[in-house]
Amino acid sequence: MGTLLQVKDLRTEFHTQDGVVHAVNGVTFHVDEGETLGLVGESGCGKSVSVLSVMRLIPQPPGKIPAGEVMFQGRDLLKVDDEEIRSVRGNKIAMVFQDPMTSLNPVLTINTQISESLELHLGMTKEQARKRAIELLKMVGIPEAEGRIDDYPHQFSGGMRQRVMIAMALSCSPQLLIADEPTTALDVTIQAQIIDIVKRLKRELGMAIIWITHDLGIIAGLADRINVMYAGFVIESASNKEIFANPLHPYTLGLLGSIPRLDAALKSKLTPIEGLPPDLIEMPKGCPFYDRCRHRTEKCANENPPLDLGAVRHWVACWNWQDVQKARSKQ
C-alpha cells in the first residue's frame, strides 16, 4: 500500500499573552492508503492541533506553523495556495468533529448542508445532489432518510447528528477521513452504533482514517496502527496489537495501568501516573515525561529522546525503553 499522507517535523505554536504555547513540537507520521491510524493522548497533547494544522485550519494568528511538511498526493499542503487547500478540504480529506451540534448550521436543512459540498466540489445539480444526499443518509443508517432530509439539525438526536456529520464528510468520497473524538460526546450504546457504521463504511469505501481519541478502548477495536502523543510529541508508534501487547514507553504503560477494564477479574488497584503534564509554554529541556517517569535517568533530564529507538517496526521516544520492557516482563 502506498503512503497517502506524510507529515514531517510539523510544529505548531500559539502566541498568547502568557507566552508561546508549544502545542506540536516536531511531529512525524504517515497514513497509508486504506489504513486506520489512531492518534491517542490526553487533552493538550497536541493530537487535535496536529491534524488541524495538516488541514490548515489553525487560526493564524494566534496560531503559527513555523516548520513542517505535509505531503499529500505529491504536494505540500502547508505551501499550496488557499484555493488549492479548499479543494482538498472536504473533498479529498474530510473531517468529523467531537460536537455534532456546533458543526452543523442550525438554520439550514440537512439537505442544504450536504448538497452544498456536492454542488461545490463535484458540480452536481440540485436534483442530483439531493438524490446523493438521501443515499448518503441511508448509508449511515438514518431511518426514513427521504422523509428526514428536509429536517433541521435540532430535530435529530446527538447520535443521529453525528451520523449526518459522517454522511457529509463522506459526500465527496474522500481518500482520508479525520475523525476528531467523534464519539466522546455520545453515550456508549450510541458510540457502539457509530463505530460500527464507520467500520462498515471503511470496508465498503476503502478510505484511510485518522481517528483521534483519548480512549484506549475505542482505538483497540478500530486502528491498524497507533501513535501515542504526549506534550506535543509522538512518543510511541507501532501496530495496534504491538502497542497493547508490548508497550515500550513508560507513559503508554502508565495509561494502560490507569484505566479500569471491564474484564478485570479482581478488584485490583489502579496504578495512576502521578503528577501533571508539563507546561507547554516552558517546555522542559529533556524528555517531556521526565517529571512523572519511574524509569528516568540523568540523560532524560538533559536530552529529549527522538522517536527512532525501540524494536522492529516499533518506534519509541525513550532512552530507557529496554528497562521498561524488562520491568514489565517481571510483573
Partner 1 sequence: MADTAQDQSLVQVKGLKKYFPITQGIIFQRKVADVKAVDGLDFEIRKGETLGLVGESGCGKSTTGRAILQLYRPSAGDVFFKGKDLVKLQGEELRKMRRHMQMIFQDPYASLNPRMTVGDIIGEPLEVHNIAKGKEKKERVQELLQIVGLNPYFVNRYPHEFSGGQRQRIGVARALAVNPDFIVCDEPISALDVSIQAQIINLLEELQEKFHLTYLFIAHDLSVVRHISDRVAVMYLGKIVELTDRNALYKSPLHPYTKALMSAVPIPDPVIEEKRERIILVGDVPSPVRPPSGCHFHTRCPIVMDVCKKDDPAFRDVGGDHWVACHAV
Partner 2 sequence: MATLAASLPTQTRARSPQMWLLRRILTNPPAALGALVILLMLFAAIFAPLIAPYPYDQQNLDYIEKGPSAAHWFGTDGLGRDMFSRIVWGARSAVFVIVMVTAVSLALGVPLGAIAGYFGGWADTIIMRAADILFAFPGMLFVFFIAATIKPGIINWAREIGLSDLARTGYLDYAVVIIALGVIGWAGLARMIRAQVMTIKEREFVIGARATGVPAWRVILRHILPNAITPIIVAMSMGLGDIALSEGYLSFLGIGLQPPAPSWGNIIAENAGRYWRRFPEMIWLVFIPGLVLAAIVFAFNFFGDGLNEALNPEIVD
Shortest distance, position 262 Cβ to partner 2, whole Å: 26
Pick between residue 203 and residue 269 the one whose CB is nearest to partner 1.
269
* CA–CA distance, 243 with 107 (Å, rounded to integer): 44
* CA–CA distance, 116 with 131 (Å, rounded to integer): 13
Q: Quick one: which of 140, 113, 153, 142 has its CA closest to 129?
A: 113
* CA–CA distance, 166 with 211 (Å, rounded to integer): 13
* CA–CA distance, 74 with 302 (Å, rounded to integer): 38
> Binding string to partner 1 for residues 11 to 30, with x set by CB under 8 A, is what?
--------------------
* CA–CA distance, 250 with 325 (Å, rounded to integer): 9
Contact criterion met (CB below 8 Å) for 202 and 23: no
* CA–CA distance, 179 with 184 (Å, rounded to integer): 11
> Binding string to partner 1 for residues 166 to 205, with x set by CB under 8 A, is what?
---------------------xxxxxxx--x---------
Contact criterion met (CB below 8 Å) for 300 and 285: no
Shortest distance, position 267 Cβ to partner 1, whole Å: 7
- Residues between 28 and 67 with contacts to partner 1, criterion CB under 8 A: 42-43
Q: Grid coordinates in use for 23?
A: 502545542
Q: Residue 159 binds what, of partner 2, partner 1, none (CB under 5 to 8 Å, by partner type)?
A: partner 1
CA angle 227, 233, 239 (to 5 degrees): 15
Shortest distance, position 6 Cβ to partner 1, whole Å: 25
Under the binding rule (CB under 8 A), the answer on residue 269 touching partner 2 is no
Q: Which residues pair with 209 in a beta bridge?
A: 36, 177
Under the binding rule (CB under 8 A), the answer on residue 18 touching partner 2 is yes
Q: Which residues pair with 15 in a beta bridge?
A: 20
- Residues between 271 and 310 with contacts to partner 1, criterion CB under 8 A: 271-274, 276
Shortest distance, position 239 Cβ to partner 1, whole Å: 9
Using CB under 8 A, which of the segments 15-23, 117-125, 163-171, 261-269 binds partner 1? Answer: 261-269
Please give the residue ranges that form the binding site for partner 2 (CB under 8 A): 18-19, 272, 274-276, 279, 281-282, 291-292
The binding site for partner 1 (CB under 8 A) comprises: 42-43, 157, 159-160, 187-193, 196, 214-221, 240-241, 244-245, 254-264, 267, 269-274, 276
